[in-house]
Amino acid sequence: MDYQKKRIDIPIAEDIHNPWLPGGPTGLPGNNDAGGSRRTPSIPSLRVPKGEQRFSSFLDFTLLLCEAIVYFFYMKRARTGTYPIIVVIFSLLTLGCSIQKMAIRSTSGLFQYGIEAIYAEPDLQFAREAIAANLKLLEGFHRADPKNQTLLFMLTQGYASYSLAFLEDDYPERARQFYLRARDYGFQLLRTLPAFKKGIPTATEAFQERLDRLRREDVPVLFWTAFAWGGWINLSKHDPQAVYDLNLVKAMMQRVLELEEGYFFGAAHLFFGSVYGSLPPMLGGDPEKARAEFQRSLELSQNRFLMAYVYAARYYAATTLNEELFDRYLQQVLDAPDNILPGYELLTAVAKAKARRLLQQKEELF
């Protein structure tokens, strides 16, 4: 059995005018190199190869060539009937489709700059209004070029991150659908990898065998697909399918840790911490394991990725009814400078918003 792509067209909320979210960096190398030295996380390039970046001039040349072809076939041949008009039209339409795809591929790398700008935006409302429309724009490009891997990755990351930052607290049902949409884009991208060319199996052993074939360069798509799938599971605990799927997502996140532990500030550790902290002991829950996972994420980001404190407050301090630690974690988030993570001010703003919300819910949690 293979997971099939399930198309979901969910209208963007009425109060949202136009977004594109930071699912987070397109990829963050680990902070620990093989030798153990620390390095500052950076975004690996998703930009179009140099040959494609220079394509604008080539595109101009191609359009010029098209005009010459039209002149030659129509003016010199079509009138004599040597080449039927329909052949000329078909040739031009085919060339037009190719030019359209090449144009999309030559410009899709530019979206990387837009993503970096979004990450650096400290104003949550402004960022929220800058995201959804851009996601729809990406979907429009995706329809024109369905196999474009850069677009598939951005859609996977974008919808998953948008759900986490702006939907799951206030609109959980909409967040579930957007997480599912992100997961399905991720599935499409996974199927472009050699390991998943024949589909995505649901049997645990077969799934694990495919994961073992993945390499470090596959970590971004693996992480964001698992992140989206995990987000849907977290909001679908009433669904028996979600209970089964959790084991598959755990296998994916474990593979992320094996290949590149520090990717996206060690966020795979936040996933395991939330799992250990939210499940009862009889189902594998373990508060101390949860705390260790959160602590490791903080180590990898040098205590700058504030979402780790938010998750620790929710899934460790609240679970163990440690009110003092709960307050300390969240106050640490609120007291942190807005630029504690330069270039990712939006991630810090999201963490602070979630921290304030948890403090308002303190009586319910304790």
- Could you read off the pLDDT of 239-291 as tens digits, one per residue? 999 999 999 999 999 999 999 999 999 999 999 999 999 999 998 999 999 99
**What are the two backbone dihedrals, phi and then psi, of residue 32, each rounded to the nearest 5 degrees?**
-110, 115
pLDDT at 129: 86
Which of the residue ranges 28-37, 41-50, 163-172 has the most confident prediction, judged by mean pLDDT?
A: 163-172
- Mean pLDDT, residues 169-192 taken together: 97
pLDDT at 112: 74
C-alpha to C-alpha distance for 256 and 27, rounded to whole angstroms: 12
Report pLDDT digits (tens) over 108-161: 566 777 788 888 999 999 999 888 888 988 999 899 889 899 999 999 999 999
Residues in Cβ contact with 120 at an 8 Å cutoff, skipping those fewer than 6 apart: 343, 344, 345, 346
In residues, how long is the chain? 366
Other beta carbons within 10 angstroms of residue 247's beta carbon come to: 12
Per DSSP, helices labelled H in 192-301 are 204-211, 219-234, 240-260, 267-278, 287-300
**What are the two backbone dihedrals, phi and then psi, of residue 38, each rounded to the nearest 5 degrees?**
-90, 150
Q: Which residues pair with 201 in a beta bridge?
A: 2
Question: Collapsing DSSP states into helix, strand and coil, what is residue 157?
Answer: helix
Phi-psi region of 38 (alpha: psi -120 to 50; beta: other; left: phi over 0): beta
Query: Nearest Cα to 272, choosing from 254, 299, 298, 245?
Result: 254
- Mean pLDDT, residues 172-182 taken together: 97
Number of H helices, E strands in the chain: 17, 0
Q: What pTM was estimated for this model as a whole? A: 0.74
Q: Which residues pair with 2 in a beta bridge?
A: 201
Report pLDDT digits (tens) over 317-362: 999 999 999 999 999 999 999 999 999 999 999 999 999 999 999 9
Cα dihedral across residues 258, 259, 262, 267: positive or negative: negative
- Mean pLDDT, residues 175-198 taken together: 97
Question: 344-362 b/e with 16+ CB inside 10 Å = b?
Answer: bbbbbbbbbbbbeebbeee
**Residue 70 pLDDT > 50, yes or no?**
no
**What are the two backbone dihedrals, phi and then psi, of residue 201, each rounded to the nearest 5 degrees?**
-70, 155
**What are the two backbone dihedrals, phi and then psi, of residue 268, each rounded to the nearest 5 degrees?**
-60, -30
**What are the two backbone dihedrals, phi and then psi, of residue 348, each rounded to the nearest 5 degrees?**
-65, -40
Report pLDDT digits (tens) over 93-102: 445 556 556 5
C-alpha to C-alpha distance for 47 and 355, rounded to whole angstroms: 34
pLDDT at 253: 98
